[in-house]
Structure 1
Amino acid sequence: MTISAWPNPFIEQRADPFILRHSGVYYFIASVPEYDRLEIRRSATLAGLRHATPVVVWRKPERGPMSELIWAPELHFIQGKWYIYYAAAPTKALDHLNMFQHRMFALECADADPLTGTWEEKGQIKTQFDTFALDATTFEHQGKRWYLWAQKAPDIPGNSNIYLCEMANPWTLKGEPVMLSKPEFDWECRGFMVNEGPAVLRHGERLFISYSASATDENYCMGLLWIDLAAEITNPHNWRKSPQPVFTTSYENRQYGPGHNSFTTTEDGQDVLVYHARNYTEIEGDPLYDPNRHTRLKLIGWNEEGMPQFGIPPADRP
């Protein structure tokens, strides 16, 4: 499968895309424009996800702490069970302040098939602050399970920073979280001061974390953190941060606000960037309610120093 074989958009009106490859099978989950449900697609091939039938596995309740704005789900397989991590806001207030009242939640499925199995709500994943929190992911490293997410700190300006913490189990944190990155460069602070949507990638002797920055319009872009595989990942000083964004709007190709990515691999093991972007800038109202952030795929290159080369968002093509 080469990049020329993937249509662009790959899947329309699916933002915050996440693709899991498990036991040779591909699973796709993302934010839906209505922000009201979680649905999974499955395919034996990466290309097949495009036309796979979505299966709704959970719908938001009418009221309560996770009854609005279901954002950025991820699907993971941990110790023989399936988990979905997602963010949700409480029942809407008339003043709309709940737009930024998200907290993070987990669902568990002990059945073999996550599309037909029973999903159990495991509740909110509690962190060090009771503040706006979202975009959780998880990974194994150095024999431990880690949780990585974005959250507002009470004493730091801006919307969200990137935090890391060990997990006691798939829905409970263990020990003290550490902050790996906060908005500090101009390209991280356009419209909003944002670091969010972290995603993990290993290559060679390094562990990489990509993340998204700035407002969700054409200013949205991707940054990069990295660390040596043998280094202590809970020491923020061991992490390096690119002073420039690594994936940005292409005005020439009419690809605006690329970001909120995940990573997967092709059937033959090539690294793939999974991301969303719009193909126009004329957004009416809040960009979050514009449905046309489409899922897109792009191969990742690597330079001689072992650093990822994300390149430029390719233009739309059927």
Structure 2
Amino acid sequence: MQRTAFTNPIVRQRADPWVYKHSDGYYYFTASVPEYDRIEIRRSATIQGLGEATPVVAWRKHPAGMMSANIWAPEIHFIGDAWYIYFAAARTAETKDGLFDHRIFVLENPNPNPLEGTWEEKGQLKTGWESFALDSTTFEYRGVRYLVWAQQDPAIRGNSNLYIAPLRNPWTLGGPPVMLTKPEYPWEIIGFWVNEGPAVLRKNGRVFISYSASATDFNYCMGLLTADENSDLLDPASWSKSPRPVFQTSEENGQYGPGHNSFTVSEDGREDVLIYHARNYKRIEGDPLSDPNRHTRAQRLGWKPDGTPDFGVPVVDGPGLER
């Protein structure tokens, strides 16, 4: 069976893409911009239309202080009766920690249309200790709202591990962080020891968390955590970890370093859709984080007979067909 695919890239020069379909029928999109200096939102009635939608600047970095540099990986969520944006920010690059000085922050907007109204800073989301922290996402399951994020523990070798905790409100933890995974397999420790960019998907009696690993060049790839829906999501023993990447570079299709994904659904709600970024070339001059050409892409997410997601391989750019 063949299905019409998306015309990729969906949005050019937008990394760490987040797409959320709201109850109003619109898809809302935000991502890291190449300048790392602001947070944009755009919306469209279709996933494909996000590339042509006019971006609205929701917030700009501060001139100095902890929210003044390297604005990374925003996500937009509707919680209760307000909109929230989670993002990571650092101090100006002159600090001793340079790039890796991030903390997690939250914005709130009560306007029904997040492209309008005022975004209020709710401050830093304290995670229990002060260290490199980023890539927060949130989901509600069986009456409990959780936060999942990446953070460095100085006592553990590596750059970031994945943690989960309940939320008391959208900007405050309601319990201690629990580590779900740390970089350990060879494909998770190339260039950097990284587990980051979590995204949550609930289906077929299970809760899945995808995440990204290794440096942000062609080695960047995705892993998967799985828990039974009836298990305690705050118990690390509830989660199993794929020993191999579930999504990675396809030289044949010209897609390098796919990762930092989100999940959404098709316009008719019948199919799950994988949103991610990737580059079209393998070799990068200089620091990969300074290369702007991580483009947002979309493709259908399949399902295996055992009820687990089938990510397949990154598809070629341009209009085409998925099998």
| TM-score scaled by length of structure 1 | 0.97
Match of 2:245 in 1: 245
Contact 2:107 2:122 in 1 (8 A): yes
Q: Is the alpha carbon distance of 1:3 and 1:104 closer, same or farther for their aligned partners in structure 2, counting shifts above 3 Å?
A: farther
What is the rounded CA distance, in whole Å, between the counterparts of 2:3 and 2:261 in structure 1? 17
Q: Which runs of 5+ in 1 are unaligned?
A: none
Q: Is the alpha carbon distance of 1:86 and 1:94 closer, same or farther for their aligned partners in structure 2, counting shifts above 3 Å?
A: closer
Aligned-residue offset at 1:221: 0.1
What is the rounded CA distance, in whole Å, between the counterparts of 2:4 and 2:304 in structure 1? 21
Aligned-residue offset at 1:92: 2.1
Q: Which runs of 5+ in 2 are unaligned?
A: none
Q: Is the alpha carbon distance of 1:232 and 1:98 closer, same or farther for their aligned partners in structure 2, counting shifts above 3 Å?
A: same
Cα deviation code 1:50-77 (max 9, x no counterpart) = 2111111111111110100000000000
Q: Is the alpha carbon distance of 1:221 and 1:297 closer, same or farther for their aligned partners in structure 2, counting shifts above 3 Å?
A: same
Cα deviation code 1:153-190 (max 9, x no counterpart) = 11000000000000010000011110000001000001
Deviates more, 1:44-53 or 1:76-85: 44-53
Contact 1:18 1:73 in 2 (8 A): yes
What is the rounded CA distance, in whole Å, between the counterparts of 1:65 and 1:123 in structure 2? 10
Q: Does 1:30 align with 2:3?
A: no
Cα deviation code 1:214-264 (max 9, x no counterpart) = 000000000000101010011101101000000000011110000000000
Q: Does 1:288 align with 2:289?
A: yes
Give the aligned residue type for 1:53.
T
Match of 1:263 in 2: 263
Match of 1:90 in 2: 91
What is the rounded CA distance, in whole Å, between the counterparts of 2:95 and 2:11 in structure 1? 33
What is the rounded CA distance, in whole Å, between the counterparts of 1:260 and 1:45 in structure 2? 21
Match of 1:120 in 2: 120
* Equivalences, count: 316
Contact 1:3 1:299 in 2 (8 A): no
SS state of the match for residue 4, structure 2? Answer: helix
Match of 1:233 in 2: 233
Contact 1:126 1:173 in 2 (8 A): yes
Identity %, equivalent residues: 62
Aligned ranges for residues 63-212 of structure 1 at < 5 Å?
63-93=64-94, 97-212=97-212
Contact 1:125 1:172 in 2 (8 A): yes
Aligned ranges for residues 1-20 of structure 1 at < 5 Å?
4-20=4-20
What is the rounded CA distance, in whole Å, between the counterparts of 2:19 and 2:167 in structure 1? 22
Cα deviation code 1:286-306 (max 9, x no counterpart) = 100100000000101101110
Aligned-residue offset at 1:4: 3.3
What is the rounded CA distance, in whole Å, between the counterparts of 1:8 and 1:48 in structure 2? 12
Q: Is the alpha carbon distance of 1:109 and 1:308 closer, same or farther for their aligned partners in structure 2, counting shifts above 3 Å?
A: same
Give the aligned residue type for 1:149.
W
What is the rounded CA distance, in whole Å, between the counterparts of 1:199 and 1:212 in structure 2? 10
Contact 1:41 1:54 in 2 (8 A): yes
Aligned-residue offset at 1:46: 1.9
Contact 2:12 2:51 in 1 (8 A): no
Structure 1 moving runs of 4+ over 3 Å: 2-5
Contact 2:14 2:31 in 1 (8 A): yes
SS state of the match for residue 135, structure 2? Answer: strand
SS state of the match for residue 100, structure 1? Answer: coil
CA RMSD in angstroms, aligned pairs only: 1.1
Aligned-residue offset at 1:98: 2.1
Cα deviation code 1:86-112 (max 9, x no counterpart) = 0000122166x3200000000000111
Deviates more, 1:36-45 or 1:74-83: 36-45
SS state of the match for residue 98, structure 2? Answer: helix
Contact 1:226 1:241 in 2 (8 A): yes
Contact 1:3 1:298 in 2 (8 A): no
What is the rounded CA distance, in whole Å, between the counterparts of 2:176 and 2:161 in structure 1? 15
SS state of the match for residue 99, structure 1? Answer: coil
| TM-score scaled by length of structure 2 | 0.96
Match of 2:278 in 1: 277
